Structure formats: structure tokens, C-alpha cells
Amino acid sequence: MGNQKSYRSAFIIITTLFFLWGFITVLVDSLIPRLRDVFELSYFQAGLVQFAFFGAYFVLSVPAGFILSQIGYKKGIILGLAIMATGCLLFYPASSYRIFGIFLLAYFTLAGGMTILQVAANPYVALLGSEDGAASRLNLSQAFNSLGTAIAPLIGALYLLSDTIKSSEEIAALTGSEKEAYYIAEAETVQTPFIAIAGFIFLLVILFRFTNLPKLMRESPKDGYWKLLQNKMMLMGALGIFVYVGAEVAIGSYLVNYFLDMNIVEAIKNSPIMQSIAESLLNSDLESLDSKAIVGAFVLFYWSGAMIGRFVGAYLTKILSPGKVLSIFAGLAISMILISMNTMGLVAMWSILAVGLFNSIMFPTIFTLALDGLDDLKPQASGLLCTAIVGGALIPPMYGFLTDNIGFKLAFILVILCYGYILYYGWMKNKKKASVN
């Protein structure tokens, strides 16, 4: 009974971390259209922002797994939070000096801290109870991750996208004092939310410093990574994480630009219901807002769909085979993308936003399916699986490159291929489970 209570308390505390990194990940997405205007980037160059952010997972996940095995979950979490706070503070000089390279360094540092948290928190939640309930527990924790991702677009629309950014020609036409005032205002727009986040993270560091967490770390075998690299199903799961994160981030990163490309703003303004929704979300008259803020507010539904789906998924993966649920959701995601590709206006907008609902259970379900039966190899497997999050660094620039050359809609073929693999992986795991039973 005492063990159950201890596990429950630890589950609640760790779940706050899922909320935090979900919020920050999507706030990064909100900055992409702004940085594209500020630095006059192509879609491919804008995708490099995600390359810096998710590239940290590729570089640091395996080292994070090693660090975790040396210092334990609790100290690993504190280290990850401290590095995240440092990354947030780097946004201050980056926005003050308007240097794109410092922005990329800030993203990389922030993601480095989040990498350590991911490597620690995902297997930790999986271990807080029976193996059969691991997918359900991780889906529930990830639901709060999605709560953070649902709130972030509104914060991004209100604080990062609400004003109109001047072009280099317009800036050149300003007087010296006007230019200085413009740069200061631009810097403050980015600085304020990230300094506030850094302060919140430091409070979490203090909380975790004085919190007792169950010690579930077991010593990993010295040849653990070699054994894992010979495990076909674990490697298939790692590829599933790679394509899932890449597809989700590719869609989320370019939603604002996709909607602007289809001139969705006019469709919103011409629909009394849609206009009312937008004004309620932004608490402002649409005529006073930039187009990016108007369509950016609707990105809320992409990430909030993931939140709703994960609460539902926590139940579905409890009563059904997780592999079967994964295949069904991947198939429905493909259907929504095909509808968006072949329509325009509000139908195209709402169908692509609906993909968020079916994304919901994918990461936690793939993750726990890949860890299934690995026992004392789980910490090292978590490091390898989190390395696969680098898909978020590689697939969005590929999608951006395709968009630059063939347009948004045809570029979705790349994303469909990603979901097609996830459907196959879920089917394989379900088939294997059925044959064992």
C-alpha cells in the first residue's frame, strides 16, 4: 500500500515535467514564422530551427542514458531542468543582438536539457507499476504533455505573432531612433516569455531537490547497447519514434504558413462562427491583428486534439492491444492528411488539425511497445529511443525543401509515408502479441 502511494506521488510529480516540455516544444514552433520574417529565411532555412532543437536529441540521448545510469533519475531530472533554464536565458542575448546563430545555440541548449528529462522520465513512468499498464500510464502522462502543447499556441499567438514584423527595406527606411525602438520592442517580445519560463524551471529545480522519488534504477549490463542493437523489434520501435516525431513536428511547424498559403484568413473572416472563435481565442478584434496571429490561434486545436486523444488513449490501451490502437490511429491520420491535400479552405484546415487527435497516442505507445520485455536494459533502450527523436530535426527541413519546390500539399506525401510505417509497426506488434497469447 505504501509502495502504491509512493508510486502515485512520484507519477504526479513527474507528470509536471511532461507538461513543461510539451509547452516549450510548441512555443518553439510559434517562433518559426516570426524568425522567418525577422531573418527573411526560406522554408528550408526555417526548418533548421527544428534541426538545432531536435539535433540535440541525436547528439545527447545516448550520453544522457549513460549519465542517468551514474547519477540516478532524481539528479538527472535536476540536471536536465538546469540546462533547460540556461537555454531559455540564452534567448535574451539572441533577441537583443538579432543573431540567428545564437537563437540556434539557445534552441540546442534548451533541447539538451529536455533530452535528459525525456531519457529519464519516459522509462521512469513505465516502471511505476506493472509492465502491462506501462502504455496506459505513459499515455496519461503524455496527456499532460499535450495540455502544455495546447496552451502554447495561444501564448505564441498573443506574445510572439501578434505584431507585424518589418522587412529589411522597411527597417532601412526608419530613422536611427525609430530603428532602435523597433529592435528593443522586437527583443522584448521574445525575451519576456522565455525569461518567465526560466524562472518557473528554477522553481521546479528547488521542488525536485527536496522531493523523495522511489529509486527504481537497476544496474545496466555493460554490453547492453550491443544487445539492443541486435533486437529487431526495439530497432523498429526506434524508427517508429523517428518518423512519428518528424511527421508531427513537420506538420506543427508549418501549419501557420500552410494556412497563410491557402489564404485561410479570408475564410475565417467570412465565417461568423470562425471569426467568433478566433476573437474569443485572441481576445481581440481580428482587424487589429496580423494574419499570422489569426491562423496561429487555430494551431491550438492541433495540439489540444493530441491532449484529448491521449486521455482517451490511456483508456483504449488499457482495454485493447496497444499495437492495434496504434495502427488504427495511424490509418486515421493518413485519412485526414489525404482530405487536406485534396480540399481547400476550412475543410483543408480542420482536416489537417484533426491529425493532432490521431497523433495523440503514438509516441507513448511506440515507446512502451519498444521497451516491452527489456527489463534491466530499459535505461539504455530509452537513450536509443530518445536518440530517434532526431527525426524532428531531419524530416521538417526535408518537408520544407519539398514545400519550396512542389508546394505544401504534395509535400504531405513525405508525412504520409511516415504514418504508413507507424501503421505497419503497430500491426507487427499486435500480430506478435496475438501469436504469444
Considering the chain, what percentage of its residues have pLDDT values greater than 70?
79
* Chain Cα centroid distance, residue 267: 28
Q: pLDDT-based confidence at 18, cuts 50/70/90?
A: confident
How many Å is the maximal CA-CA distance in the chain?
75
CA distance 363 to 138: 9
Q: Are 396 and 49 in contact (CB under 8 A)?
A: no
Q: Judge whether residue 319 has pLDDT over 80.
A: yes
Mean pLDDT of 334-348: 94
CA distance 263 to 267: 7
Q: 270-284 pLDDT, tens per residue?
A: 888 888 888 787 777
Q: Judge whether residue 354 has pLDDT over 90.
A: yes
Between 358 and 44, name the one with better pLDDT: 358
pLDDT at 355: 94
Mean pLDDT of 400-411: 91
Mean pLDDT of 220-238: 78
Specify the range with the lowest mean pLDDT, choosing from 11-25, 49-63, 142-156, 347-361: 142-156
Most confident of 27-41, 276-290, 411-425: 411-425
Determine how many CB atoms are found less than 10 A away from the CB of residue 171.
15
Q: Which three cell numbers stand for residue 162?
A: 501578434
Between 164 and 409, name the one with better pLDDT: 409
Mean pLDDT of 237-246: 93
Q: pLDDT-based confidence at 1, cuts 50/70/90?
A: very low
Q: What share of the chain is helix, strand, coil (3-state, %, to 5)?
A: 85, 0, 15
Mean pLDDT of 362-375: 84
Specify the range with the lowest mean pLDDT, choosing from 11-20, 39-48, 198-207, 357-366: 39-48
CA distance 238 to 234: 6
pLDDT at 315: 83
Residues with Cβ within 8 Å of residue 290, at least 6 apart in sequence: 161, 162, 163, 164
pLDDT at 55: 78
Instruction: Give which of 286, 412, 263 is closest to 345, Cα–Cα.
Output: 263
User: Rounded to the nearest 10 degrees, what angle do helices 362-371 and 134-159 cross at?
Assistant: 150
Q: 284-300 pLDDT, tens per residue?
A: 777 767 787 788 878 87
Looking at 129-270, list the stretches that DSSP marks H as alpha helix, in order from N- to C-terminal side: 134-159, 168-172, 176-209, 224-229, 232-261, 264-269
pLDDT at 387: 84
